[in-house]
Structure 1
Amino acid sequence: MDGFPQFIISLFTTPLYAAYKKLPDYFNLTLSYRRDSDLVYLYDGFKPIENHSDSNQVWLEKEVLDNVNAKSMPILATISNCNTPSKRELYLKELDKYINITKIGRCYNNSCKRGDKCEDELIKKHFFILAFENSVCNDYITEKFWRLKKLIVPIVLNRNIIRDPELQNYFIAASDFSHPSKLAEYLNYLMKNRIEYMKYMNWAKKYRKIQESFEIDALCKLCEMTTKKVRQAIPNIVDWWEIKSNCSSNYANKLLER
């Protein structure tokens, strides 16, 4: 540990998709989406509105209201991975019995793909978007969740994996409901009660709507640690990554069997 460079392990998929058989124990720093990483690199996140924020970086109150009033359809789901460790596809299938779900992506042979203009048009029409990830692991929320910045409310599988307290009021979790039918009841209630639905949009009063980059934040932290000659060792990287990620295979099955 007397010299540099330090060895950084960079991880952006969950342990459930790991390609390695064994990890060496010579790493000094971790770089991943996990909030307990030495260097945190999020898919996206909130950054506060500042006095010098450009007008195109924020949602005006009238814009939010107009967008909400233009919505008429319940749930949008963009699914391109059809068989996942989380078994999200099973919960989606059950939920679809109780509330209409517009399904796009490769799994449904739909011409509208993720990121296409047609997806943005569908987001404008829908109240909710399924942000069911392929894996249920601590802090693993991808661009699916962050479509909320386009003024749509995300629905996740498990509330507990989202450990950022700033996010807790801006999404709905299937784990909060005893059955998909109960979740559907709540979603129908919100669609009929716009004031209650609008509470999920309160983030727009405080945070910017643009996609944020956390690459610079991670690099700055690395420079700071290097300048201060912070030296450390990770005694068991497999334990840190696999056990502390707290992943749950077949999570949707567990929800449905309660």
Structure 2
Amino acid sequence: MPGRHYDWLRESSFSAASSSKNSKQQNVTILQWCWPNGNTFKFSQDFCWKQLGIPNCRVVTQRSLFSEADVVVFHNRGINKEKLPLELPRPPGQRWAWLTREPSVRNGDRRQFAGLFNLTVHFRRDADVTIPYGGLLPQDSKTPMENIQWNKTDLVCWVVSNYRESYKRSQVYKELSAVVPVKVYGRWANAPLAPKDLLPTLSRCYFYLAFENTIAKDYISEKLWRNSYQSGAVPVVLGASVQDYEAVAPPHSFIHVDQFASVKELGKYLQQLAGDVKHYREYLQWRREWKVELPDWKWRLCQICLRYPSFPPYKVYDDLEAWDNVV
């Protein structure tokens, strides 16, 4: 069953023993400078300690505290709309962190940021601070398989609003729908789902097409964690490599498009698997011991404090665009 890397949320929250050991450390002050899309999130300065057990961590949003901040976090979407505070005297040792949850093709021109940032806060596992879209926590007690929801009526389902012919996922969908029936929801299909209806609707599907709109390293979004895993539909995935999925997902819990010689072969496999209750349920066995957690914005900022002691004393991304473009 899942190894150490699956416990990312529990591991992120210090145990009481660890907290006590580190309690004498000086506070780390994280300043969130700009937010995505102009949204703001309110939370107390001691949130990281109260909610996650991470000590000595102060998260602030007042720009007047710039000179006190150990780390200043700039969301990529925010700094593409406003200027960086280059006119302010930057305290010695202060680190600037570049944060994005988007793959490289949607991050704009990063050449303008050459030599400015010391840290990356990113969904990639090789970032200085990794902020995945989802993860797993152990269940308090094992869930009997007979209690796992079983009300399947549709073979394959997909939710899509942004449909473009050039996307690989669109091409795979067209080939797959020629082999097996695919129930499509979302704006593109003129069948939008209200948030409260999303998971109940997808729970009636044997398989969900967790197709990312971009092929990128470690880019595994809520399409897997929420739409598939939380609904109880077995995900058919497309986006990151098989190896990237294997690094974070429970064993034998997903089906990757790249594991088949053709989309036609994939379609045949899905039909066969849906008719084989024993083998289909093997893809759901992980749900007996694990549950999905979707981290919020506050959790992401607290991770910077958690990783702070391991940051190198001096590091600069001279070519942020090159780093972001790694495939």
SS in 1 for 2:134: coil
| CA positional deviation for 1:85 | 6.1
Runs of 5+ unmatched residues, structure 1: 52-57, 247-258
CA distance in 1, matches of 2:159, 2:320: 33
Match of 1:126 in 2: 205
Match of 2:196 in 1: 117
Aligned CA-pair RMSD: 2.5
CA distance in 2, matches of 1:188, 1:239: 42
Structure 2 residue corresponding to 1:8, chosen from 64, 87, 97: 97
Match of 1:143 in 2: 222
Is 1:62 the counterpart of 2:141 in the alignment?
A: no
Number of equivalenced pairs: 232
Checking the alignment, whether the CA contact within 8 Å between 2:204 and 2:233 is kept in structure 1 is no
Partner deviation per Cα, 1:147-206 (whole Å, 9 max, x = no partner): 212211111125244251543421101111111111011101111111111111122122
Match of 1:188 in 2: 271
Aligned-residue identity in percent: 23
**Larger RCO, structures 1/2 (Cα 8 Å, 6+ apart):** 1
- Pair 175,226 (structure 1): closer, same or farther in 2 beyond 3 Å: closer
- Pair 29,78 (structure 1): closer, same or farther in 2 beyond 3 Å: same
Match of 2:47 in 1: none
Partner deviation per Cα, 1:44-92 (whole Å, 9 max, x = no partner): 11122246xxxxxx8543221xx23x21210110001111764211110
Match of 1:169 in 2: 252
Range with greater deviation from structure 2 (159-168 or 18-27): 159-168
The aligned amino acid for 2:145 is E
Q: Structure 2 length normalisation: TM-score?
A: 0.64
CA distance in 1, matches of 2:257, 2:310: 44
Checking the alignment, whether the CA contact within 8 Å between 1:41 and 1:214 is kept in structure 2 is no
- Pair 50,180 (structure 1): closer, same or farther in 2 beyond 3 Å: same
Partner deviation per Cα, 1:210-230 (whole Å, 9 max, x = no partner): x33265654444224545774
Match of 2:123 in 1: 33
Is 1:238 the counterpart of 2:321 in the alignment?
A: yes
Checking the alignment, whether the CA contact within 8 Å between 2:202 and 2:233 is kept in structure 1 is yes
Range with greater deviation from structure 2 (154-163 or 222-231): 222-231
- Pair 41,185 (structure 1): closer, same or farther in 2 beyond 3 Å: same
Range with greater deviation from structure 2 (187-196 or 20-29): 20-29
Is 1:223 the counterpart of 2:310 in the alignment?
A: no
- Pair 230,84 (structure 1): closer, same or farther in 2 beyond 3 Å: farther
- Pair 163,5 (structure 1): closer, same or farther in 2 beyond 3 Å: farther
In our comparison, the structure showing a higher alpha carbon Rg is 2
Match of 2:17 in 1: none
Considering fraction of residues, name the structure with more strand: 2
Checking the alignment, whether the CA contact within 8 Å between 1:44 and 1:214 is kept in structure 2 is no
CA distance in 1, matches of 2:277, 2:135: 25
Range with greater deviation from structure 2 (141-150 or 91-100): 141-150
Match of 1:99 in 2: 180
Q: Structure 1 length normalisation: TM-score?
A: 0.80
The aligned amino acid for 1:91 is V
Range with greater deviation from structure 2 (214-223 or 175-184): 214-223
Checking the alignment, whether the CA contact within 8 Å between 1:10 and 1:31 is kept in structure 2 is yes
